[in-house]
Amino acid sequence: MPGKVLWEMEDSFPEIQLPESRILIIITGGTICMRKSENGLVPAKGFLKAGLAPRPSFNDGSYPEPLEIVIDDNGTKKAVQSLRTPVSTYDRRVRYSVLEFDQLLDSSSIDAAGWDHIARSIYRNYQLFDGFVVLHGTDSLAYTCSALSFMLQDLGKPVILTGSQAPMMELQTDAQDNLLGSLIIAGHFMIPEVCLFFNFKLFRGNRTTKVSADDFEAFASPNLDPLAEVTSLRTNVQWSLVYRPTAANPFSIQTKLDTTHVACLRIFPGLKPEMVDAVLRLEGLKGLILETFGAGNTPGGPDSAMTRILADAVKRGIVIVNVTQCLSGSVSPLYAPATVLGRAGVVFGQDMTTEAALTKLAYLLSLPDATPEEVAKRMSVSIRGELTESTRTHFEHPKRGSLTPELSSLTALGYAIQKGSLQETKDIIRGESRWLLNDADYNLNTPVVSEISFSDLNAGR
């Protein structure tokens, strides 16, 4: 029988050995691994056996040998079952094992101790796997992503966090797509960042925020485009956006990001300064994230009670960081109220999310020999791609054409103030009929800087 002979010939062919990546899935809990109970959905054990092994996308049926994982700081190793995915579009398999926390958590219960547990699990197994996928509830997922991005120092492998809006065992769920996408990216692409994968998009973890309680598109990265997007044909990685270490230092972790030393306060119309003062006088407080209006504005002026309270707190060694309440945008000295806060010692948080600002502040305060001055300085500088550093060109000549007399005077005034020459500044203002200090040049820069006071300039008029 020709058909039978052909079948036997196919069975006799040796299996093609394709390259494979090894990924460790760390399960902290969350909706993705929950099951129904009489009290509602609760985290459940046995996710690999019940949730992954029966699904062809996660199990090619080969059932490879167990993999060893390290389970404690003493280096104790334990052999655990591993599964292997079918061959991907890139002719590679992903082999993985699962490490479940002893106590699975709802994400609303995660805290700094939970972050330490995740970081230590990655650190112990760092040399054994090519990448890591962390399953986590969605409520505090953006906080954990941000915290881990700072805790995992000199990271050289992908760490991807994901979860779902519905459990894996439900008929209609996003769990399978989210986990499979995370697994494929971690096993195929060298993106050495802490990332969040959700709804076919890979985000930088410390740029994300949760935007929906029930939509499958639950997360957004308002101030940075996705690092990668998954389509029906391939995974498109924006390599120009990927953040990479600039030095070849060994991987390490910083633990004990005690968030009890930091607080977050949202400004609202009618907020009493006494309320802000009460928060800033909490025992043990070292830092405050201030969620302000628009580009960083708060009620009051230079001599208001609010400004005095913030300035006094800064003098007492409390680091205060100004971030915007808006979903996108940046805090900057665009308006006078924000500038007043900056002069009071409040740090401009640029375009950081609240989650990133809070966890970064806790991270910097946890570093050895951290001082308020050094922490405040580093809060406005990107250390893991969590903010967009930008500078403005001051008083630059146009690249073509000549300056008008008005622009010539305005530019000369800018240079005079920049040099700190009070006499030259007075001379230029005396020769102009208009009030040049209110004018802006072609870059929308005004000549005024804080080093020259209005009283000095008025005295020369």
Q: List active site positions.
A: 31
**b or e along 96-107 (b: 16 or more beta carbons within 10 Å of the residue's beta carbon)?**
bbbbbbeebbbb
Question: Are 358 and 411 contacting, i.e. CB atoms less than 8 angstroms apart?
Answer: no
For residue 183, with 0-12 CB atoms within 10 Å meaning exposed, 13-18 middle and 19 or more buried, which class applies? buried
The Cα 111–Cα 337 span in angstroms is 34
Pair of tokens at residue 451: 């080093």
